[in-house]
Amino acid sequence: MLTETISLPVPERAGRRARRGRAGGRHRAGYAFVSIYVMMLLLFGVVPTAYALYLSFTEAGKPWHWVGLSNFLKTGRDFRFLPAFEHIAIYLVFWLVMLVVVVLFLALMLHGGVRRVVPAFRFLFYLPGALAGSASVVVWAFMLDPQLSPWHFALSSIFHFSVFAQVIAPGHLPVVFAVIAFWTGAGGWIVVMNGALNNISDEIIDSAKIDGANAMQLAFRVKLPLIKKWVVYMLILAFAAGTQLIVEPILIGSASLGMVSPFWSPNQLAYYLATYDGNFNYAAAISVDLLFVGLVAAALLVFRGKLFELE
């Protein structure tokens, strides 16, 4: 039997090799970019987490002496443990509700606004995020002092606050911290949600309008369901960031000469145990508690929000 060999013309074979070379170059560039992220994730994410897990299950001063759940039980029985987690839970309720409601409202307003002014408003909403966390807290310490604030009239006439101590009373702190966190972090999420809304096809919007949908129906029955996964993503990251609250209570406590408890949040308690008591194992146990809470909340949001399901 004779086998016929079919060979491609030289120019066509060269073209295929060139295309494969270009594709290989793009893949190598992609791997290079991803490798930088993976390296940073390993160094500053995976390795510290693994070390915290190791510390949380070992005894202070005795490396590799496993104590099981002893560190978790001892920190859980600390009189400062439950109040700290109660404070952060109340704060998260105010912070997440405020974030979802206001961010989505403003993003929908931007999406339905005049296109010529939308970029200017996006910039204005994002501008507060340019301030670092500590700088924004200092600004708010000034804004919330009835004797110094430019909003003195509102603080004194509406809320009946005359001194800073009344503003940061223990029952007000979750709301105060939620307002500060919203002011610094919401702008970026408004831009993200506006971008998600801009990805909705114009044909879908036009079809809903032809069917007689008004602005309210368009927002709640068309736009919001289509960006549901973005909202879930925002909630996961905002919840994780909210459990790490530490800068606001420390700086507000310093501005009020110690009126805010140094153990107001779990991160503050962990910081105190590590730096003042020198017990990094107890501090690691609290950090693992926060990690567990964050992972459980993220799992619930992912499965309930069907984040990874293809539509």
- pTM metric for this prediction: 0.83
* Strand, helix or coil for residue 113: coil
Structural tokens at position 135: 């700088």
Residue 25: the pLDDT is: 60
Residue 291 has pLDDT above 90, yes or no: yes
DSSP H helices, 70-220, are 70-76, 81-111, 118-126, 133-143, 152-157, 164-167, 173-198, 202-210, 215-217
Number of H helices, E strands in the chain: 16, 2
Residue that has been written with the tokens 């940061």 in this structure? 168
126 vs 168, 233, 239, CA distance in Å? 27, 19, 20
- As a whole number of angstroms, the distance between CA 243 and CA 236 comes to 11
Domain 73-304 classified CATH 3.30.9.60?
Answer: no
Residue 17: the pLDDT is: 57
169-206 pLDDT, tens digit each = 888 999 999 998 888 888 888 888 988 988 888 888 88
Residue 224 has pLDDT above 60, yes or no: yes
225-267 pLDDT, tens digit each = 889 999 999 999 999 999 999 988 998 888 777 788 889 999 9
- As a whole number of angstroms, the distance between CA 100 and CA 192 comes to 13
Domain ranges within the chain, ordered by starting residue: 10-56, 73-304
Residue 35 has pLDDT above 60, yes or no: yes
Residue that has been written with the tokens 């494969």 in this structure? 20
205 vs 109, 115, 116, 221, CA distance in Å? 15, 16, 20, 11
Measured in residues, the chain has a length of: 311
120-124, 274-278, 279-283: lowest mean pLDDT where?
A: 120-124
